[in-house]
Amino acid sequence: MQLQANDKILDLTRPQIMGILNITPDSFSDSGQFLFLDKALFQAEKMLNEGATIIDIGGESTRPGAKAVTVQQELDRVLPVLQALHERFDCWLSVDTSKAEVMQAAAQAGAELINDVRALQEPKALQVAAQSQLPVCLMHMQGQPRTMQQNPHYDNVYTDVLTFLQERTTACLQAGISREKILWDPGFGFGKTLAHNYALLKGLNRLCQQGFPVLVGMSRKSMIGNLLNRPVDERLVGSVTAALIATQKGVKILRVHDVAATKDALQVWEASL
């Protein structure tokens, strides 16, 4: 199993690490740390040296209660970093956005992956993604970031997530996005209670058997913090444990803040196979 974009191939026969690079002042974990270009480049290089093969660049926080940003604000945050990384490093670059204008500009600037928490449901996103011919990651989210954690409800969280991802996949195929360019993300923490998140984690192997590479992001999230009663900066062990469980269940891409620790865990796991 592999992913192809531009002139790059990503080997998915073994798990890959996606390093999180938030160019936002209000993300839940590293708000404002990488708003300046030199700091963002330094952090990206650090994550690549530690074992990341993908850098995921986001210019709009999607934490619960986060404020929306305009298209121009997001472009101003994302494009300089994306362009600089494209010039300096031979890695996969992902843009974490739901806006068609940002997707289009990022594709032109050298991005290899569109990572959309809204699964290409925003205006023109589906058409722009199809025209870009880039791989897309479709994520499940109940509601919108501002309100998604107020009262999430499911008849069956696994079935509901699977149905949604299947429906969005059908929409992608009809829009001209090829099957081999589609990834799935169950959306841990996006409109889900603690019980919902762990029910999804328990059933993750079934999601990984549906024929699409699965990407997950559980790093430092409240599903770790609320279970362990730990603040954001004390969730390393829980985050790495969750990543390793996901890998054992068949996940192909781990979206994380702590690249080095995740890489160590994967190396120990792979040596035991």
Q: Which of 77, 221, 235, 263 is catalytic?
A: 221
Q: Which of 77, 168, 220, 255 is catalytic?
A: 255
Question: What b/e readout covers 222-259, taking b as 16+ CB neighbours within 10 angstroms?
Answer: bbbbeeeebeeeebbebbbebbbebbebebbbbbbbbb
> What does each C-alpha distance from 81 to 41, 75, 98, 206 come to in angstroms?
7, 10, 18, 36
Q: How far apart are CA 222 and CA 231, in angstroms?
A: 9
Known catalytic residue at 77: no
Q: How far apart are CA 40 and CA 22, in angstroms?
A: 8
Q: Which of 162, 170, 169 is nearest to 186 (CA)?
A: 162
Known catalytic residue at 255: yes
> What does each C-alpha distance from 135 to 126, 181, 212 come to in angstroms?
12, 4, 12
Residues annotated as part of the active site: 221, 255
